[in-house]
Structure 1
Amino acid sequence: MYREFYGLREKPFSKTPDPRYLFLSRGHREALARLQYAVEERELALLTGDIGCGKTTISRALMDAMGEACRFCFIFNPRLSPLEFLRVIARSLGIDNPAGAKDELLKQLTETLYLMHAEGRCPVIVVDEAQLIPDRDVFDEIRLLTNYQLDDQNLMSVVLMGQPELRQILADPVHEPLRQRIALHYHLQPLSLDETLEYIDFRLEVAGGTPGLFSPDAVQRIHELSGGVPRKINILATNALLVGYGRDAAWIDASLVEELRDEANLY
């Protein structure tokens, strides 16, 4: 369809968190660098940002950047009991049959973590959508994971990612012990207008196209409608390409984007 019409090899504005399409704005570059440092130092890190700002994509880019020295455990749905949470981690670390009793499970985790340390590998636990954690006890388990350590370093790194309300949740006094262990905090901001232009052109080039397909006024309208949130930019840009293809439009202008305001379901 529109891919051939606009000379694209693949969809440039897909919703999947493909690290190839990670546009490193100033904020994204700093977030990735800070997370790399946290993993290298085996610390607990907190990354927040509005829905669609690119947190999950950054976590995938982090995994690629750290390479084989780290074993990543991604928890995408943290609506778990404390025991379920630990069992998910155990399976991700290669424990085929996690124990049902907590004391046995902790023993299995301890043995695995020391074995991985001896092999020179660092487990990295990434908890996405952490604002959905339903139980204070799960946050306590996350805090207790940082107790796995040697005299000079921790045995794992933990990255908590979530929407801005995660910071409000953690501000509760009951979470003070966990907050004190968070070595790195970063909040990911939406893209500026200039970054939105660079973002759109960057993704077009990665997909095999050429920059400039969207006129400057089209980019400005996309930025206004999306608020600079990458996921919303993707929705608008994809719909604009589809409509442009249907109209044999050689490029995308602001009038075309304006027609998509309601269709993109941004408000």
Structure 2
Amino acid sequence: MYKEYFGLREKPFGKTPDPRFLFLSKGHEEALARLEYAVEEREIALLTGDVGCGKTTLSRALMDRCGTGYRFVLIFNPRMGALEFLRTMAHGLEIEQPARSKDDLLRQITGRLYDLYRDNLCPVLVIDEAQTITELEVFDEIRLLTNYQMDDHNLISVLIMGQPELRSLLRYQPMEPLRQRISLHFHLQPLSLEETMEYLDFRIVASGGVPGLFTPDAVQAIYELSAGVPRRINAVATNALLVAYGSDAAVIDASIIQEVRDEVTL
């Protein structure tokens, strides 16, 4: 459909967190640098941002950058009890038969972490959507992961990612022990108007097209509709490409954005 019409190899505004399409705004670049540092130093880091700002895509880009010396364990839905959380982590660490009792499970995890250390591999636990955690005991288990350490460094790095309400959750007094162990904090902001234009061009070029497909007045309209949130930008831009294709338009201007306004603001 519109891919051939606009000379694109693939869809430029897909919904999957493909690191090839990660636009490094100033904020995203700083966030990625901090996450890299946290992984290298085997620390606990906190990354927050509104829905659709690119947190998950950043974690995928981080995995690509870190290379073979790291073993990533991803937990996408941490809304679970403490034992289930530890068992999920154990599966990610390739423990074939995680124990049913907590004591035995912790011994398995301890042994696996030391095995990875001897193999010169650093495990990295990435907890996405951490604002959905409902049990305090799960946060306590995350904190206790820092007890796995050698004399000079931890045996595991932990990246906690979530929406802004996660910061409010961590301000509660029972969270103080975990909060003190988080060494790096970063909040990912939406894109600015200028970054929105750069983002649109970047995505088009990454898909095989040429920059300038979206006119400045279209960019302004997209920015106003999306508030600079990448996932919202993607939704508006995709609908605009479809409308432009259907009307044989060579470029996308503000009038096309107005046509899709009602659909993308439902």
With normalisation by structure 1, the TM-score equals 0.99
1:127 aligned partner, one-letter code: I
For 2:123 and 2:170, the matched residues in 1 are separated by 24
**Does residue 99 of structure 1 match 2:116?**
no
CA-to-aligned-CA distance 1:108-129 (integer Å, 9 cap, x gap)? 0000000100000000000000
Please give the alpha-carbon distance, in whole angstroms, between the structure 2 residues aligned to 1:161 and 1:25: 19
The one-letter code sitting in structure 1 at the alignment partner of 2:222 is I
* 1:139 correspondence with 2:144: no
| Counterpart position of 2:48 | 48
How far has the Cα of 1:265 moved from its partner?
Answer: 2.6
Where in structure 1 do 4 or more consecutive aligned residues deviate above 6 Å? none
Residue pairs, 1:188-207, within 5 angstroms: 188-207=188-207
Shift of 1:134: 1.1
Three-state SS of the structure 2 residue aligned to 1:249 is coil
In the aligned structure 1, how far is the partner of 2:146 from the partner of 2:80?
Answer: 19
Q: What are structure 2's unaligned runs of at least 5 residues?
A: none
Q: How does 1:64-75 map to 2 (within 5 A)?
A: 64-75=64-75
- The two structures, once aligned, show a CA RMSD in angstroms of 0.6
Q: Match for 2:25: what amino acid?
A: S
| Displacement after TM superposition at 1:261 (Å) | 1.4
Structure 1: give runs of 5+ residues left out of the alignment.
none
Partner of 2:173: 173
Matched residue SS, 2:108:
helix
Q: Quick one: which amino acid aligns to residue 157 of structure 2?
A: S
Q: Aligned AA for 2:84?
A: E
Whole-Å separation in 1 of the counterparts to 2:161 and 2:254: 35
| Alignment partners' CA distance in 2, 1:7 and 1:64 | 28
Distance 1:212 1:82 in 2: 50
| Structure-1 residue corresponding to 2:159 | 159
Counterparts of 1:243 and 1:132 in 2: how far apart (Å)? Answer: 37
- 1:232 correspondence with 2:232: yes
CA distance in 2, matches of 1:260, 1:147: 53
Residue 260 of structure 1: how far off its partner (Å): 1.3
Alignment of 1:101-120 (within 5 A): 101-120=101-120
> Is 1:250 aligned to 2:250, yes or no?
yes
Q: Secondary structure at the match of 2:33?
A: helix
Deviations 1:104-158 (A, max 9, x none): 0000000000010000000000000000001000000000011100111000000
CA distance in 1, matches of 2:258, 2:184: 40
| 2:210 corresponds to | 210
| CA distances 1:53-85 after superposition (whole Å, capped 9, x unpaired) | 000000000011101111001100011110000
Aligned to 1:23: 23
- What SS class does the counterpart of residue 39 from structure 1 fall into? helix
The alignment's TM-score, normalised by the length of structure 2, stands at: 0.99
Instruction: Tell me the distance in 2 between the aligned counterparts of 1:190 and 1:71.
Output: 30
Report the 3-state secondary structure (helix = DSSP H, G, I; strand = E; otherwise coil) of the residue aligned with 1:48. strand
For residues 225 and 91 of structure 1, what CA distance do their matches in structure 2 show?
Answer: 42
SS in structure 2 at match of 1:260: helix
Residues 1:219 and 2:219 aligned together: yes
Deviations 1:145-178 (A, max 9, x none): 1110011100000000000000000000110000
Give the Cα separation in 2 of the matches to 1:64 and 1:88.
23
Matching residue of 1:61:
61
Residues paired across the two proteins, number: 266
